[in-house]
Chains A and B, each alone.
Chain A
Amino acid sequence: MTESDFATRLNDRFPEGVTADEREGYQGYIIAADKLIEFATALRDEFEFDYLSSVTGVDYPDEGKLEAVYHAYKTIGGAELVFKVQTDRENPEIPSLIDIYPGADFQEREAWDLLGIKFTGHPDLRRILLWEGFEGHPLRKDWQEAYYEADKKPFKSRWPKAEYTRAEAKNPYGANVKYPDKFDPEKWVPEGEDALYGSLAKYETTDKDGLKTDHLTVNLGPQHPSTHGVFRIAATLDGEKIMNLNPVMGYLHRNHEKIGERNTYLQNMPFTDRLDYLSSLSNNFGYAIAVEKLIGIEVPERAEYIRVIMAELTRVQNHLFAIGMFLNDIGAFFTPSLYAIEERELVLDVFEMVTGSRMMCNYLRFGGLARDLPDGSLQKIRDLVFDRLPRKTDEMDRFLSENEILRSRTVGQGYLSTEDAIKYSAAGPVLRASGVPYDIRRADPYSIYDRFKFDVAVRYNGDIYDRYYIRLDEIRESIKILQQAVEQIPEGEIQTGKPRYQMKVPKGESYGRVEGPKGELGFYLVSDGTGNPYRYHVRAPSFINLTAFGPMCKGLKVADVVAVLGSIDIVLGETDR
Chain B
Amino acid sequence: MYGLGILKGLSVTLKRFINTYVDDFEWRGKRYYTDEGIAHRSSKDAKGIFTIQYPEEKMPVPEEFRYVPFLVYDEGENGEINNRCTACGICAKVCPPQCIWIERAVDKKTGRPVQNPAAFTIDADICMNCGLCAEFCPFDSIKMDHDYEIASYGRTVYHLEDLMKPASYYDEIRPINSAKESEIRRIAEEAKAAKKAAREAKKAAQAAK
Contacts and interface: CB of A to CB of B under 8 A. Distances in A.
A160 B42 contact: no
A388 B44 CA distance: 6
B6 A371 contact: no
A159 interface: yes
A270 B130 contact: yes
Contacts of A268: 96
A403 B11 CA distance: 12
Nearest to A336: B9
B167 interface: no
B204 to A, nearest CB: 36
B81 interface: no
B66 interface: yes
A273 B65 CA distance: 16
Given A155-B98, A158-B100, A400 B64 contact: no
Given A342-B50, A345-B50, A407-B5, A270 B96 contact: yes
Contacts of B50: 342, 345
Interface string A379-406: 0000110011000000100111111111
Contact of A266 (B43, B94, B98, B123): B94
Contact of B98 (A154, A161, A401, A405): A154
Contacts of A388: 44
B142 interface: no
A356 B92 contact: no
B93 A399 contact: no
Contacts of B9: 398-400, 402-403
**Which among A163, A354, A356, A388 has the highest number of chain B CB atoms within 10 Å?**
A356
Contacts, number: 146
Interface stretch (B28-36, B101-109, B191-199): B101-109
Interface residues of A, number: 58
A132 B13 CA distance: 50
B98 A356 contact: no
B5 A267 contact: no
Contact of A403 (B5, B66, B123): B5
A175 interface: no
A223 interface: no
A97 B13 CA distance: 51
Nearest to A500: B136
Contact of B104 (A160, A266, A398): A160
A162 B121 contact: yes
A143 B98 CA distance: 21
Tell me the dominant secondary structure on chain B's binding face: mixed
A374 B13 CA distance: 36
A370 B89 contact: no
B2 interface: yes
B44 A357 contact: no
Contacts of A400: 9
Top-8 shortest CB links A-B: A402-B5, A159-B89, A270-B130, A162-B101, A267-B96, A160-B104, A356-B64, A164-B121
Given A264-B94, A357-B129, 10 more contacts: A159-B92, A160-B102, A164-B119, A164-B123, A269-B96, A353-B64, A374-B62, A374-B63, A398-B8, A402-B8
Interface of A: 153-155, 157-164, 166, 263-264, 266-271, 273-274, 335, 339, 342, 345-346, 349, 352-357, 360, 362, 370-371, 374-375, 383-384, 387-388, 395, 398-407, 499, 501-502
11 contacts: A158-B98, A159-B102, A161-B103, A267-B94, A357-B129, A360-B128, A370-B131, A370-B135, A388-B44, A399-B12, A401-B5
